[in-house]
């Protein structure tokens, strides 16, 4: 008998679907179920490497971790990665498939439908329960003919649907009731419960709201979930970065000030989550020169479109300012696409990323990047090679992370490698990654997840603090497992689990 299914859909993007799916995966795991997440089609620049060297959405990797299982491509068979123009790279079953415009993508629905339903069938054959996540809103009626991810997949699986609205944005009645109104009768029949998410204040004061939603919506409100600040679980959409934007740096001299450049197509920005969890550390995402200030550390993060986002830095004046601060001694760290930008030049002889065949980088590291058709999607581990500047005292610190990139970067003198790599995709290697300047205050790496490694992160922050002349003792432990448990406990306390289990069992 195939495993049961439960689906979480939202009234719009960023209502908290991904986190609720993660919470449910952890709750069901705690209750003894063998559970897996599934999202048929994900549009995101945050991605993750599977054990077999393929690529899935970062949210599904996070949800799988909450479920206590290793993420596989079946959990996210189609990943859409928007690029600089009106096209996107389509990743199917973890491998680059096509580069398509939105109009062309819709014409391929038949091919993709067979793939996503096959992936879901495979998961249901292996797991007791599959928690399915929708995308955007099921009421985007202009897009229904190409639907792969909302009511089409719910109907295929016969999955009961929980519809989630975001009260923090306001208009939750219009969100939920309007969505129900726009659904076809057979689709509306699949909606078995409503969830009001991100509630602030006294939930008892929303009793009338619950009654109105149930009376007019014809479905029970299974829970009013409170706003959960700084849960520390990876976000899927870059809109989440709005919470961390700041117009100016902190003036508290006792704190470290870290500025992360908010690129238009920033990817894997959850790299920064462990820094935000540290006491005495302020993290800002900035996209303007007047917001940059003089931070203790500038991080240039990953991006799907290195050349286009590098041009964005130049157009905004950020490129010139970052270089000027670096020349004055500021610490700068580039990750993945950010590492490529810090180099002397970026070459794209085959037009892999854009029509620009070569462009100059920021020139802060003596490295050159060349794009090729082979995408590197691997998990890796090793230890730190450097022992100076930002990384003083970090030599031999263990690290583990993952790489997702198209380019290959070569070092020239006087740069030295930043990291020793001992294992890639579970194969023993003796390799190196990244580059660091002789003084150690400018560095770059392809490795995502570097800050998740507690000992290494603590050394870096201690070096920044010492340079600033402030004291810093120890540091926080970044434990994603504890965060999943916290998320699950909060949701379980505000969700009618008895009624939810009846819905899963298809009891009416």
Residue 477 forms part of a structural domain: no
Same domain, 282 and 157: no
Tens of pLDDT, residue by residue over 468-478, are: 999 888 888 99
Same domain, 49 and 134: yes
Active site residue 405: no
Same domain, 330 and 287: yes
Same domain, 426 and 491: no
Active site residue 448: yes
What percent of the chain has pLDDT above 70? Answer: 94
Out of 29-38, 80-89, 150-159, pick the least confident.
80-89
Which CATH number fits the domain that encloses residue 201? 3.40.50.300
Tens of pLDDT, residue by residue over 343-400, are: 999 999 888 877 888 999 999 999 999 998 888 899 999 999 999 999 999 999 999 9
Range 231-242 average pLDDT:
58
Q: What angle do CA 399, 423, 445 make, to 5 degrees?
A: 50
Query: What's the pLDDT at 412?
Result: 85
Same domain, 181 and 271: no
Please, are residues 389 and 401 in contact by the beta-carbon 8 Å criterion? no
pLDDT bucket at 102, cuts 50 / 70 / 90: confident
**E-strand spans in 167-307?**
191-199, 221-226, 256-261, 266-267, 281-286, 297-300, 302-303
DSSP 216: H
Please, are residues 63 and 25 in contact by the beta-carbon 8 Å criterion? yes
Same domain, 426 and 449: yes
SS3 label, residue 358: strand
Out of 179-183, 215-219, 229-233, 504-508, pick the least confident.
229-233
pLDDT for 507 beyond 70: no
Query: What's the pLDDT at 9?
Result: 98
Tens of pLDDT, residue by residue over 258-315, are: 999 999 999 998 999 999 999 999 999 999 999 999 999 999 999 989 999 999 999 9
From CA 187, how far away is CA 199, in angstroms rounded? Answer: 27
Catalytic residue among 405, 420, 448, 458: 448
Same domain, 409 and 288: yes
Same domain, 13 and 80: yes
pLDDT for 39 beyond 80: yes
pLDDT bucket at 415, cuts 50 / 70 / 90: confident
Catalytic residue among 25, 336, 420, 458: 336
CA distance readout (Å), 117 to 54, 157, 283, 408: 19, 9, 41, 35
Residue 33 forms part of a structural domain: yes
Which CATH number fits the domain that encloses residue 451? 3.40.50.880
pLDDT bucket at 247, cuts 50 / 70 / 90: very low
Same domain, 97 and 211: yes
Residue 296 forms part of a structural domain: yes
* Domain of 8, in residue numbers: 4-232+483-504
CA 497 to chain centre: 28
pLDDT for 241 beyond 60: no
Residue 239 forms part of a structural domain: no
Same domain, 140 and 282: no
Residue 250 forms part of a structural domain: no
Tens of pLDDT, residue by residue over 306-350, are: 999 999 999 999 999 999 999 999 999 999 999 999 999 999 988
Number of folded domains in the chain? 2
Same domain, 119 and 264: no
Residue 248 forms part of a structural domain: no
Same domain, 206 and 301: no
Residue 476 forms part of a structural domain: no
Residue 101 forms part of a structural domain: yes
Range 83-87 average pLDDT:
74
pLDDT for 447 beyond 80: yes
């Amino acid at each position: 008998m195939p495993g049961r299914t439960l689906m979480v859909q939202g009234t719009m993007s960023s209502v908290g679907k991904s986190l609720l799916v993660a919470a449910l995966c952890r709750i069901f795991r705690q209750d003894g179920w063998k559970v897996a997440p599934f999202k048929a089609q994900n549009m995101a620049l945050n991605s993750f490497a599977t054990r077999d060297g393929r690529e899935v959405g970062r949210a599904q990797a996070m949800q799988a971790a909450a479920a206590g299982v290793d993420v596989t491509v079946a959990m996210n068979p189609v990943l859409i990665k928007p690029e600089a123009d009106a096209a996107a790279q389509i990743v199917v079953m973890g491998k680059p498939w096509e580069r398509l415009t939105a109009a062309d993508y819709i014409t391929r629905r038949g091919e993709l439908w067979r793939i996503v339903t096959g992936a879901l069938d495979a998961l249901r054959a292996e797991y007791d329960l599959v928690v399915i996540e929708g995308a955007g809103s099921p009421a985007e009626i202009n897009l229904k003919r190409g639907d792969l991810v909302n009511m089409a997949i719910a109907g295929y699986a016969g999955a009961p649907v929980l519809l989630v609205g975001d009260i923090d944005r306001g208009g939750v009645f219009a969100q939920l009731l309007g969505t129900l109104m726009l659904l076809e009768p057979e689709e509306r029949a699949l909606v078995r419960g409503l969830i009001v998410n991100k509630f602030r204040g006294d939930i008892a004061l929303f009793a009338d709201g619950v009654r109105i939603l149930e009376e007019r919506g014809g479905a029970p409100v299974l829970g009013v979930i409170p706003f959960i600040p700084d849960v520390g679980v990876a976000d899927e959409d870059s809109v989440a970065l709005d919470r961390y934007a700041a117009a100016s740096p902190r003036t508290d001299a006792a704190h470290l000030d870290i500025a992360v450049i908010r690129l238009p197509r920033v990817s894997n920005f959850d790299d920064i989550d462990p820094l935000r969890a540290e006491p005495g550390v302020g993290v800002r995402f900035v996209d303007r020169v007047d917001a940059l200030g003089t931070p203790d550390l500038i991080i240039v993060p990953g991006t799907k479109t290195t050349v286009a986002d590098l041009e964005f830095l130049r157009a905004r004046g950020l490129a010139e300012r970052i270089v000027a601060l670096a020349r004055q001694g500021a610490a700068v760290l580039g990750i993945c696409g950010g590492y490529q930008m810090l180099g002397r030049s970026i070459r794209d002889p085959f037009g892999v990323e854009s029509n620009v065949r070569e462009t100059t980088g920021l020139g802060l590291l003596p490295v050159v990047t060349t794009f090729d058709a082979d995408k590197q999607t691997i998990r890796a581990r090793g230890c730190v090679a450097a022992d100076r500047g930002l990384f003083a005292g970090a030599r031999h610190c263990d690290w583990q992370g993952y790489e997702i990139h198209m380019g290959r970067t070569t070092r020239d003198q006087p740069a030295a490698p930043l990291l020793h790599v001992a294992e890639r995709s579970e194969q023993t290697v003796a390799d190196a990654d990244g580059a660091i300047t002789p003084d150690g205050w400018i560095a770059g790496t392809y490795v995502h997840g570097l800050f998740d490694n507690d000992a290494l992160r603590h050394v870096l922050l201690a070096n920044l603090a010492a340079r600033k002349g402030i004291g810093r003792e120890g540091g926080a432990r970044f434990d994603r497992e504890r965060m999943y448990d916290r998320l699950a406990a909060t949701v379980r306390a505000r969700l009618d689990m008895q009624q939810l289990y009846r819905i899963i069992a298809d009891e009416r």
